[in-house]
């Protein structure tokens, strides 16, 4: 079942493009990473999904409900962290969480306490005295506290220290383990690589790829470095299928491999290989490939 | 305990309500306690008050020796409606406008609440705040009047205050309507305050100039009684006009707010 579904979802701010013809499906129980540089349309997509803004055309469905700025019942099953988290500075952390808990119609306060403990947050202080990281923790707790079926998180780990980031990843794994769904936008690509099942990459308002993280990596180029016992002929490797960006310095060959590496391996077998190292591309490199 | 947006809004306004109440209490006490002195001083000036220029400020009252005439000049002709208008504009432009400007609406509207409920709870809180402040003002006149033994119909003074409050609410409703459209508090305050000033000038000039007299009906100040409710009672037709305009702008503002995009933190 698609928890998030968009059909040609488009948003223009006057003449300025936000996103265009976005067709996206996020399945129940998956963690979906949404990637793109600043201005690509990530936040616009998220704000369309949460009903903060109206689409210029197209439709969006969350948990089977058609989204609009007027609909709201579906929001009981949504947890949300906006990209620019703005909280009520004059409330204490506890007052804020209790206020939102009441407006949500009640939550399990024991669960809230456990989250507070895990994220090591002092709720007794006014929010205006919180550091950026602590505000972010409070935002994460408010998004999680009612155990929503779907979490929509815009840069949720922004400002968190590495320990808290790890705690956040653990919570996300638990959420996924419970069959709940997460839609996460992030600039931190190792984070996306670590926790996401699938990613969507958005470029200039258009969704250019939606792919399983592992298959995306499998399809991507691998960096190979081979040290031979003797110098090798450049032409022998340059003409091989799938070999890109070939560099030979003395007895060392470096290249990028795309697709099946069989021809490359057969060519290597004709020589005396001292060492061989093949490295998968990181998501970051894949991401940059799409943007280069 | 904050269980409702209404209570949270009142909490946000609590310091402002307190300072407004203190200010209005002082204004009311100062005005009423000074009356015996002013009455004695101005009693002899009444023959000169037929000059049309005075009527801009005094309306139908020409006798400062009466509490009604005195309060009309000192409060209800200018000071009180101006304060009511400023108070209403300040409170109403912040309900959606300031929350949106600070980025609070984005998260609040992610909760399972209809936007109209968010707006209505905030409006009710602002109305209550404005009512409390006007009530404090009426109390100061009543207590001060009792202290210096001024005989007056305090319920009718209350009606004059109510008239001023209702006039103010129209401009507050306008400020709310403008923020409902998506404009910021600065624009809402500017337009509402500017329009109030323009209306006042139309009425003021219309009183002294025959040429401008027909235009008075286009000014909301024309329908504002000044001190008259203390003598004649409230003109309910005019009061209904104020209430109707206020409700219309609030309702239309909420309908538009329901449908429009929420802006990111300004």
CATH number at residue A239: 3.30.70
Residue closest to A62 by CA, chosen among A77, A47, A52: A77
Average pLDDT over residues B91-120: 95
Instruction: Give dist(CA A95, CA A87) in Å, integer.
Output: 11
Domain end among A190, A217, A244: A217
Instruction: Give dist(CA A80, CA A150) in Å, integer.
Output: 9
The pLDDT of residue A281: 73
Confidence of residue B61 (pLDDT cuts 50, 70, 90): very low
> Cα A93 vs. chain centroid, distance in angstroms?
27
Average pLDDT over residues B139-145: 97
Which of A85, A90, A104 is nearest residue B112 as measured by Cβ atoms? A104
- Pairing status of strand A2-13 against strand A16-27: antiparallel
Tell me how far CA of residue B150 lies from CA of A17, A152, A168, B75, in angstroms.
Answer: 69, 65, 70, 17
Structural domain boundaries enclosing A228: 221-291
Does residue A157 share a domain with residue A49? yes
Domain end among A177, A193, A217: A217
Span A203-219, pLDDT tens digits: 899 999 898 988 777 77
Does residue A208 share a domain with residue A158? yes
Handedness of CA B213, B214, B215, B221 (dihedral sign): positive
Does residue A225 share a domain with residue A136? no
Domain end among A217, A235, A255: A217
Q: Rounded mean pLDDT of chain B?
A: 92
Residue closest to A96 by CA, chosen among A135, A131, A133: A135
Give how far B140 is from chain A: nearest CA, Å: 31
* Contacts B110 to A, Cβ<8 Å: 50, 52, 75, 78, 80, 82
- The string of DSSP letters for A38-64 reads TTSSHHHHHHHHTTSS--SEEEEEETT
Give how far A269 is from chain B: nearest CA, Å: 60
pLDDT at B248 over 70: yes
Q: Is the Cβ pair A82, B5 closer than 8 Å?
A: no
Tell me how far CA of residue B218 lies from CA of A71, B195, B206, B226, B246, in angstroms.
Answer: 40, 12, 10, 17, 16
């Amino acid at each position: 079942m698609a928890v998030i579904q968009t059909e040609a979802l488009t948003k223009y701010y006057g003449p300025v493009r936000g996103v265009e013809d976005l067709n996206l499906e996020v399945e129940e129980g998956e963690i979906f990473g949404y990637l793109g540089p600043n201005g690509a349309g990530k936040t616009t997509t998220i704000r369309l999904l949460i009903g903060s803004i109206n689409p210029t055309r197209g439709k969006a469905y969350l948990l089977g409900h058609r989204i609009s700025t007027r609909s709201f019942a579906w929001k009981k099953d949504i947890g949300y962290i906006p990209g620019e988290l703005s909280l009520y500075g004059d409330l204490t952390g506890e007052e804020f969480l209790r206020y939102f808990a009441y407006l949500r119609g009640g939550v399990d306060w024991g669960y809230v306490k456990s989250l507070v403990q895990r994220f090591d947050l002092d709720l007794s202080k006014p929010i205006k005295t919180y550091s950026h990281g602590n505000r972010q923790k409070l935002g994460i707790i408010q998004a999680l506290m009612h155990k929503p079926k779907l979490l929509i998180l815009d840069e949720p780990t922004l400002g968190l220290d590495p320990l808290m980031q790890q705690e956040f990843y653990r919570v996300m794994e638990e959420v996924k383990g419970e069959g709940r769904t997460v839609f996460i936008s992030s600039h931190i690509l190792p984070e996306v690589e670590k926790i996401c099942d699938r990613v969507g990459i958005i470029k200039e308002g258009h969704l250019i790829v939606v792919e399983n993280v592992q298959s995306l990596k499998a399809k991507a180029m691998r960096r190979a470095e081979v040290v031979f016992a003797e110098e090798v002929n450049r032409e022998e490797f340059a003409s091989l299928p799938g070999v890109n960006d070939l560099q030979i310095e003395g007895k060392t060959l470096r290249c990028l491999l795309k697709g099946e590496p069989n021809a490359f391996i057969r060519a290597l077998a004709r020589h005396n290989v001292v060492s061989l190292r093949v490295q998968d591309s990181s998501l970051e490199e894949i991401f940059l490939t799409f943007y280069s | 305990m904050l269980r409702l947006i209404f209570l949270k809004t009142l909490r946000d306004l609590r310091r402002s309500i307190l300072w407004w109440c203190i200010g209005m209490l002082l204004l009311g006490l100062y005005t009423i306690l000074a009356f015996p002195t002013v009455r004695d001083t101005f009693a002899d000036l009444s023959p000169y008050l037929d000059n049309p220029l005075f009527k801009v400020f005094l309306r139908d009252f020409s006798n400062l020796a009466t509490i009604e005439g005195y309060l009309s000049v000192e409060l209800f002709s200018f000071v009180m409606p101006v304060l009511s208008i400023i108070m209403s504009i300040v409170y109403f432009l912040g309900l959606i406008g300031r929350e949106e400007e600070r980025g609070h609406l984005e998260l609040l509207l992610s909760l399972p609440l209809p936007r109209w409920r968010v707006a209505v709870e905030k409006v009710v809180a602002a109305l209550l705040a404005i009512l409390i402040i006007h009530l404090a003002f009426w109390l100061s006149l009543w207590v001060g009047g009792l202290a210096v033994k001024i005989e007056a119909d305090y319920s009718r003074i209350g009606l004059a205050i109510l008239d001023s409050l209702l006039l103010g609410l129209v401009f507050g409703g306008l400020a709310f309507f403008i923020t409902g459209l998506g404009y910021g508090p600065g624009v809402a305050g500017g337009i509402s305050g500017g329009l109030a000033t323009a209306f006042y000038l139309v009425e003021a000039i219309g009183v002294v100039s025959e040429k401008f007299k027909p235009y008075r009906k286009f000014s909301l100040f024309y329908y504002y009684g000044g001190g008259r409710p203390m003598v004649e009672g409230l003109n309910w037709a005019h009061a209904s006009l104020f209430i109707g305009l206020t409700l219309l702008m609030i309702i239309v503002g909420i309908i538009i707010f329901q449908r429009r995009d929420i802006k990111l933190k300004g």
